[in-house]
Amino acid sequence: MKYTCLLFLSLISLPSWAHVRWFVNSTEFPDASLPIDPLFYSILVAVVGFCLFAYLITRQGLLGKVTANPVMIGSFFFWRILTVIMALFFILNVVLGEFIAPNLQLDTGREMIGVCLQVAVATTMVFSVSISGLMILLIALTSSILLPFSAVIDYIPELFGIGGALILIGPCITPFDKKMFSRFVNFLGGRGSAVVLLRFMLGLQLLILGVHNKLMLPGLSLTFLEMYPYYNFFQLMGWEAFSHLHFVWFVGLSESLLGLMLMLGFANRLVMGFLATIFMITTYVAGPADVLGHLPIFAIAFILLCESVNKVPNVMTVKTTG
């Protein structure tokens, strides 16, 4: 019965729990190793099995419109939401004295660089989404130069994805961008390329978070779970044998494989549907303190749910022509 429950719950990962470094000092955590036991291998089979199941369903077109038909492609509603969220995100960071995330701090004397860049994102968003996207790219580049790579690697792909996507979508949203950049953006693929870039970079971000914060350093996530044990919902259900280290393995593997699937374009809508659901659940569990850092993820999730779908072979056409 326990392994049946595990197979069902393997549909769930915790990507919005990904930034454990917000809560744990990344230089002070115990060494730990993932437990290699029957439960370890059961988790592996369950998570890999779900990924294969989602891929086959999408590939065969078994869910039809759910997996293959984009929606709201005539609207820019969620793209506009993303622009508002990014402006709000960086304004709140400036108010709170943060640069990108709570665990990233610029040295004294360089703090003004971070303030200016983040304010520039919000102010330029008023008239040019594309220029604001360029500012986000500059923030990503600046952080990679001024901060330790081991810290910023958890954020750079997401920033590059959002910044690049906003540059590409700008001419569709603001008159200034349409006049100034439409020819250049159309050459690069416009809205379609923006969706692909968001999907690939979000997948890469999840892959990095799963490997970097969990699979490579299980002690880091173990410390987090000891501080906030309620995240291990298996134990809340009474499954005492499902230790915190098993949970770290489960989450790290799920994030890594689901991120890889997004990068490769496999079962995009099914993967994003599960991720979006867990974003909302874990935000509810974590409370308001966890909301700010994940606002961009929510907007990206809805954009990808609407527009990042998989083309499936037309089985009826193949049979007829054959």
Three-class SS of 25-81 = CCCCCCCCCCCCCHHHHHHHHHHHHHHHHHHHHHHHCCCCHHHHCCCCCCCCHHHHH
- pLDDT confidence tier of residue 121, bands split at 50, 70 and 90: very high
pLDDT of residue 291: 61
Q: In this structure, is the dihedral angle defined by the CA atoms of residues 240, 244, 249 and 254, taken in order, positive or negative?
A: positive
Six-digit token pair at 74?
């005539």
pLDDT of residue 6: 36
- pLDDT confidence tier of residue 2, bands split at 50, 70 and 90: very low
Six-digit token pair at 34?
């993932």
- pLDDT confidence tier of residue 29, bands split at 50, 70 and 90: low
Q: In this structure, is the dihedral angle defined by the CA atoms of residues 256, 262, 264 and 268, taken in order, positive or negative?
A: positive
- pLDDT confidence tier of residue 16, bands split at 50, 70 and 90: very low
pLDDT in tens, 201-252: 999 999 999 998 889 888 888 888 888 787 787 887 788 889 889 999 998 9
27 pLDDT more than 80: no
pTM confidence score: 0.83
| DSSP secondary structure letters along 142-197 | HHHHHS-HHHHTTTHHHHHHHHHHHHHHHHHH-HHHHHHHHHHHHHHTHHHHHHHH
Phi, psi values for residue 152, rounded to 5°:
-80, -15
19 pLDDT more than 80: no
> Considering the chain, what is the average pLDDT of its residues?
82
Mean pLDDT lowest among 53-57, 246-250, 265-269, 279-283? 279-283
